[in-house]
Chain A
Amino acid sequence: MQMKQTYTIGVFGALILIAGLIAPVSAYSLLFFNPSVVESNPGEEPAIDLIMEGCNAGISGYALYLTLDNPTVASFGEISFPSWVSMNTVEHINSTTILIQGADLGNQVEPALSIANLATVNIHALTAGYATLSVEPVVIDDDRNGRYDPVSKTASIVISGAGPNPMIPASQ
């Protein structure tokens, strides 16, 4: 019984230790799309910027999953990167999700900046309907040996058609 108690405390202590070893997390930050609501017509290709706010410790690089939840309405087009993202990749994970990565090799996004454009997402508007564009950060590292843990916001994609406009969920 005594052994078990000791073991429990040991595991708890180890968790605290691991937590202490994990990279320091930068202060509040936010990932969002601009514009947050996109209205388009089939065949068009609107562009949406992925913005990070609160990157006060600079950015050394990031890896993010982007998801369009309704592939019959909209799909990913070209992903372009601002000039500071001097090394980048786009990997298609499946029909609705891609992984984008970028790194700031030139140290252009310095700690003095508080907002940065991470990428520009072009959307193929396919058919009338509604889709949600979401971002899930895997990792965003700063320039001070730290790591961000941002809050994410989605964007709503509305593709107009011959029928009535689709409703936009109020919860967005």
Chain B
Amino acid sequence: MLITAIWGGVQAEQGSDYVPGEVIVRYANLGSGTAVASVASSLNAQIGAETIYTDEVMGINGMQVVKVPDTISVPDAVQFYKSNEHVAYAEPNYVITLPTPLGKAENIIQGLDNETPGMTIPNDPDFDLQWGLYNTLNSSAGRADISAPEAWNISTGSSDVIVAVVDSGVDYNHEDLAANCLKGFDFVNYDEDPMDDNGHGTHCAGIISAVTDNSIGIAGVSWNSKILPVKVFDATGVSNTALEIMGIVYAKEQGADIISCSWGSHIYSEALKDAIDSTDALFVCSAGNDGYDNDEIPYYPAGYNSANIISVGASDEYDMLTWFSNYGAVSVDLLAPGEDIYSTLPGDYGFMDGTSMSVPFVSGTAALIKSEKPGYDAGQIKNLILNSVDQKFWLNSTCATGGRLNAYKPLSLVLPLNADFKAEPVSGTIPLNVQFVDMSSGEPETWHWTFGDGFESTVQNPTHLYMKPGKYSITLTISKEGLSSIAEKENFIHVKPPYQPVKAFPDGKGGFYPVPTDADDDGLFEDINGNGWLEYEDPKLLFDQILFAMKEEPIGQFDFDKSGFIGFGDVVKLYQMV
């Protein structure tokens, strides 16, 4: 990009919706740059306007930003340009401010469980403040985090993946960011120093890709991905459409795979949409913090119908929509943690709230996917993320997917190493010899089976002999080159007692009830009176005829309390089963 005019930076009057005197003009395709320049020159001369950013600066063919004289209002100037047949559209250079709220929350300390199989827990000392990554506070109600430890067991990200943080800049000297920061650009001051003088961008960058497992500070979603700082918001959190477009085009030119946009407004800008549509990158955009329904009151750029945009609302640590988050059953794609989010700040760390914080969780997850599947385009990554959220029925009306981001699930879908197995037979009487067959993908190198009865095997396709009745859960853990995958099937093998014919119980009147049945096929004949189901009469009949049962019936089929004999304990157990 070349700069050919005096740099305007951020100039906005308090309360104004657009930069005074500035108009963005997009000329129709006139076939050559010379033709555009000629038409633009003619139109500008008619109202005394001058070009301050050429289309070369903007990076979009035919798009310019002009400064009109004080004698003409911006709306009138917009109408003037629009009336020309060679102008595709014209619009004010809208002012955009970083979303609110941005308050700091109180510290939340949570106790972390010990690392469990299938998780990778980093050693960053403040990781236990990052509930969005791993939330053990409310685990009884289901974890409301993005399953980051499980995701990290698959991937911690690649340094080949670039995530552009188009924001207020990034503290690229931060102890927990420096190693992951690329050289960026400052479009506010138009220099190569995108240092963050606001804090918003640094906070977002830390969530995406703080240096992780370095015994310092926090963990990022994607440990190794590179952050491209692109400063388009000034110290007060103000930017405009032109700066954002230039930042997006710059990120595109720098090869950003993902562009993280934790900002927006309710103003529709064709120019901004054109800029987004001009890139192949995945745009992750915040849904806004007004508490509005975006289906009714659209919020942009999240609300553009561009195929490469993901719109993100904010969830809290209880998997509820936060009080401030915008929502939309159509226009918001998913939720991600956005309240009491702990991350980096310039020279520091701290908490922030907002859909701005939700966006980088998604951006980081997209970076993890891109790391594993470099060939995936924005649409494929978007679909993976949206198709693998943790759905909650109470979120159905808040976003299109009805769920909150899960970083593990999309990775597990692309993971080349995926454990699976089958067994034959899965049911039978003791002694039951079962052949287990590895059905895993990814050509694992090791196998570890647990058969549920205390025995294990490291053979790929083991056989196992079951000698005790019961239902057994099976796990298969495979691994290859440091990666692992686990498949677990609960109560998969059903071993029944040796079958012996059961006898009909006397009815006390000289006759007999129908023969007892095993309605649920668990090897136990709970249906004592043979009427097809278990009810109070069954323990009563067993009680009445306990001496008959003790003498005549096979123990295995009536030993409900697993005592090894038929007795009153079985009556009590059967009664409790009714």
Chain A contacts to B: CB under 8 angstroms: 21-23, 60-63, 87, 89, 101, 103-105, 107, 138-139, 141-143, 145-147
Contacts and interface: CB of A to CB of B under 8 A. Distances in A.
B571 A21 contact: no
Given A61-B543, A89-B544, 4 more contacts: A60-B567, A89-B543, A145-B562, A145-B564
B561 A145 contact: yes
A107 B567 CA distance: 15
B565 A103 contact: no
A60 B568 contact: yes
A146 B565 CA distance: 9
A114 B44 CA distance: 106
Given A23-B564, A145-B563, A87 B571 contact: yes
Interface in B557-578: 561-565, 567-569, 571-572, 575-576
Contact of B569 (A63, A89, A138, A141): A141
A103 B572 contact: yes
Interface of B: 539-540, 543-544, 546-547, 550, 561-565, 567-569, 571-572, 575-576
A23 B544 contact: no
Contacts of B568: 60-63, 103-104, 139, 141
Contacts of A103: 543, 568, 571-572, 575
Contacts of B571: 60-61, 87, 103, 105
Contacts of B540: 87
A52 to B, nearest CB: 14
15 contacts: A23-B564, A60-B567, A60-B572, A61-B569, A61-B571, A62-B568, A101-B546, A103-B543, A105-B571, A105-B572, A139-B547, A141-B569, A145-B561, A145-B562, A145-B563
A143 B569 contact: yes
Nearest to B567: A141
B356 to A, nearest CB: 58
Contact of B563 (A23, A61, A138, A139): A23
B535 to A, nearest CB: 15
Nearest to A23: B565
Contacts of A21: 564-565
Contacts of A147: 565, 567
B529 to A, nearest CB: 15
B578 to A, nearest CB: 10
Given A60-B569, A61-B572, A87-B540, A139 B564 contact: no
B561 to A, nearest CB: 6
A90 to B, nearest CB: 11
A143 B561 CA distance: 10
Contacts of A107: 572
Of the candidates A104, A145, A147, the one having the most CB atoms from chain B within 10 angstroms of its own CB is: A145
A89 to B, nearest CB: 6
Nearest to B571: A103
Given A22-B565, A145-B564, A104 B572 contact: yes
B257 to A, nearest CB: 63
A141 B561 CA distance: 12
Contact of A61 (B562, B565, B567, B576): B567
A62 B575 CA distance: 16
A102 B58 CA distance: 92
Given A23-B563, A147-B567, A139 B546 contact: yes
Nearest to A140: B568
Contacts of A138: 547
B564 A61 contact: no
B283 to A, nearest CB: 63
Contacts of A139: 546-547, 550, 567-568
Of the candidates A21, A63, A103, the one having the most CB atoms from chain B within 10 angstroms of its own CB is: A103
Nearest to B540: A87
Contacts of A104: 568, 572
Nearest to A62: B568
Nearest to B572: A60
A103 B536 CA distance: 14
B567 A23 contact: yes
Contacts of B544: 89, 101
Contacts of B547: 63, 138-139
Nearest to B575: A105
Given A87-B540, A104-B572, A105-B575, A63 B546 contact: yes
A115 B569 CA distance: 19
A119 to B, nearest CB: 15
A61 B575 contact: no
B461 to A, nearest CB: 36
A63 to B, nearest CB: 6
A66 to B, nearest CB: 15
A65 B567 CA distance: 16
A83 B165 CA distance: 75
A63 B107 CA distance: 65
B569 A145 contact: yes
A160 B569 CA distance: 43
Contacts of A89: 543-544
Of the candidates A89, A139, A141, A146, the one having the most CB atoms from chain B within 10 angstroms of its own CB is: A141
Contacts of A87: 539-540, 543, 571, 575
**Shortest 6 CB-CB contacts between residues of A and residues of B:** A61-B568, A145-B563, A141-B568, A141-B567, A60-B568, A60-B569
A139 B550 CA distance: 10
Nearest to B574: A105
Contacts of A61: 543, 546, 567-569, 571-572
A145 B561 CA distance: 7
Contacts of B546: 61, 63, 101, 139
B565 to A, nearest CB: 5
Of the candidates A62, A104, A105, the one having the most CB atoms from chain B within 10 angstroms of its own CB is: A105
Nearest to A147: B567
A55 to B, nearest CB: 13
B541 to A, nearest CB: 11
Contacts of B569: 60-61, 141-143, 145
Nearest to B544: A89
B577 to A, nearest CB: 12
A63 B561 CA distance: 18
A104 B572 CA distance: 7
